[in-house]
Structure 1
């Protein structure tokens, strides 16, 4: 990417520009909240009622839209590699803004389609929401999150873990508080107004991206971590020779094991979050008590994330991989023992650990193992697996409840899957071309 068109010159900054990248990239991830489960779920009841869809129909539209977005994410990652972070992130925010505005008038759109076609049926708002959910999930949860996180990781190397500690903790706290903030917007401005207010706020994020987002530090005469480097071209060529393509990454066991444990977390936490009140009612908790489990879970997650990020600069990632597997096992056992008094504590601890390590492993693994040249394609493939898993989670949890009258039975599948990952990860060593 040429720096001549940039208004803000990274090499003119009085301090290392990577710190600005870390702050603006974190804000970019925050801006993806309208496309995340935490941002969408708050609108479920008022929107489904306005569109005259049942809960099952609305949830199914969400699943289909999310699945479609997961298929498109690998291609989006390749576009990121081709066009750079500024163009890709700015385009995703623009799509997110337009989609939020369309969501705010979705009943009007559905009504107009029925009027024009002369066909009035629930499938019209159903298909409309599939399209809107596809755009929300692709632009918000997918592309904006991926590009912002990858940008931060490209600007740091030996300090990658410590910088990710700042970013991931900030994101965890922001995501945890977002349902309360969005609910406030809905109460004050109605659900239509809430989406419009968020769209307006995202225009400021779009301006921030155009001004401050930058690709590789070498393109600006700088070097990761702010270290001096006289021969930038030589440094880039040396790293590029070690970087793996997506095809090469998919041929390594490490890619699949790390991506699968991340996908499992997305599956498990989305399924649990979507059905949190009904699920913990089996454990004898009230609605308020059920929702309150996210606070201690966030505390465990933040502590885990800070600790793991700081030590990740000095230890093998395989240690963190097995700690995440252990957390997944603890959470699955807690779900299996749902009617036991210890179940809630096991789920809080297990998901707190996996949530904290998710932010670390997802950010650090791909650039460390496979380099930065094809980072978009590789992380995009991993992200598509996570998004697909998050789409399936709510449905499989619901199916378990429908078929067996308890959510606990999904734990058998979870345990089998996690144990398989644990066995498969025994030889999930860094690829030979690892970039350290």
Structure 2
């Protein structure tokens, strides 16, 4: 695939004011998933456990199963988006998340907490995430990589601000009051944002003629999951989520094992965030001219190097260099995950395809802390985690360098362009020139 293949030049839709407004709306919607994410729930975990008088182990089990069950919400969400349109689904999902957050704030028993945490995971981390990233894919055409880069930067800034504000609310007013406020904000603020979404952004029946043409030239979910491209992007980027979630949860212990204090840990968070923002914008710009396959390979190699050298870090500048490397790799992988699905498979079934990919990432993030903790328990050190993860990242980079990425705008999924006379579906991964 040449650099120019990354551009969706064949579409007549222009990326104007509406497209930019949808980038902002999508970032707001993704930020609204905070109550359903690990670092959001982490803000209230200690107070919730003490208030309801349940053990840490019980809550850990609740969170694990809530995350795994919540991941299953991704698939029906994608199908509903493709069938009924983004606006309808977005309104329902935001309302569901708002109610779940309000009910969790009022929960008094372990059973109630289990139920409502599961729904916050399902509606927030899973469904609303799918809505957010699908919104850009269905609203933006020829500037998708740049839009995803800007979206990633906006999201990082919004998440940082929202986390800080929520943390202050919890400290000053208590977790129930703060959580209840989050539920009201979702219902009062986020829903009006969803009403800005045009019906044409995702609804199949808005333009039957255009839809029929897209149906012929875009991949279905069944076709997408038959391609190596889908699995290498979904699994390699999900692996970053796995190792990132595991290391983030135990990051203070990881840094301490190398002989550094808590203040250094906080410094690495800031440095990693800034490096990620730079990578978001750079990757969004580069994806217009450089193959997504090459960018994925570079990101995975950078991740492999960063992870592989950490067990030998013993100086402050090395810790900061590690944080920069992880931030750059994570920033690149984030934009690639948001960009590849529409580029490779088109927009007709984008909700279902991104839903399937999002489900893989949620599963990976859920088991990451367990694998990291188990590895440290068995070996007595976090070094084994870094070395194993580095090897897997390097191997994934090698595989990524050989895959072929389809280009939906070029008609790779149009049966008329498929050379096999005995098949009505594309080859496992259409070749790129």
SS of residue in 1 equivalent to 2:195: helix
- Which aligned pairs between 1:239-254 and structure 2 lie closer than 5 A? 239-254=214-229
Q: State the distance in 2 between where 1:215 and 1:47 align.
A: 40
Task: Kindly indicate whether the alpha-carbon contact (under 8 Å) linking 1:270 and 1:393 is maintained by their aligned counterparts in 2.
Answer: yes
Q: 1:67 maps to what in 2?
A: 68
Mapping of residues 70-81 of structure 1, within 5 Å: 70-81=71-82
Q: Which residue of 1 aligns with 2:427?
A: none
TM-score by length of structure 1 reads 0.84
Distance 1:25 1:19 in 2: 10
Whether 1:328 aligns to 2:303 is: yes
Deviation at 1:400, TM superposition (A): 1.9
1:389 aligns with one of 334, 351, 364: 364
Report the CA distance shift for 1:337/1:99 in structure 2 as closer, same or farther (over 3 A): farther
Counterparts in 2 of 1:131 and 1:288: CA distance versus 1, 3 Å = farther
Cα gap change, 1:342 to 1:20, in 2 (>3 Å): closer
The residue correspondences of 1:45-64 to structure 2 (distance < 5 A) are 45-64=46-65
Cα deviation code 1:29-70 (max 9, x no counterpart)? 111111122211111211122222333332232111111112
Aligned partner of residue 430 in structure 1, secondary structure: coil
Query: Equivalents in 2 of 1:216, 1:362: separation in Å?
Result: 24
What SS does the aligned partner of 2:54 have?
Answer: coil
Alignment of 1:173 with 2:171, yes or no, is no
- Where structure 1 has 5 or more consecutive residues not aligned to the other structure, the ranges are 1-14, 111-124, 223-231
Give me the TM-score of the superposition, normalised by structure 2.
0.85
Corresponding residue pairs, total: 396
Which residue of 213, 219, 235 corresponds with 1:260? 235
Conserved 8 A contact 2:82-2:203: no
Secondary structure in structure 1 of the residue aligned to 2:405: coil
Q: Classify 1:427/1:234 alpha carbon distance in 2 versus 1 (closer, same or farther; 3 Å).
A: farther
Match of 1:200 among 181, 184, 192: 184
Moved more, 344-353 or 379-388: 344-353
Is 1:213 matched up with 2:197? yes
Contact 2:344 2:408 in 1 (8 A): yes
When structure 1 is superposed on structure 2, of 133-142 and 376-385 the one drifting more is 133-142
1:345 aligns with 2:320: yes
Q: Aligned pair in 2 of structure 1 residues 99, 137: CA closer, same or farther (>3 Å)?
A: same
The Cα shift of 1:285 comes to: 2.2
Partner residue of 2:268 out of 288, 293, 303: 293
Conserved? CA contact 2:29–2:190, under 8 Å: no
CA-based RMSD of the aligned residues comes to 2.5
Cα distance in 2 for residues equivalent to 1:288 and 1:341: 12
- Distance (whole Å) between structure 1 residues aligned to residue 318 and residue 57 of structure 2: 28
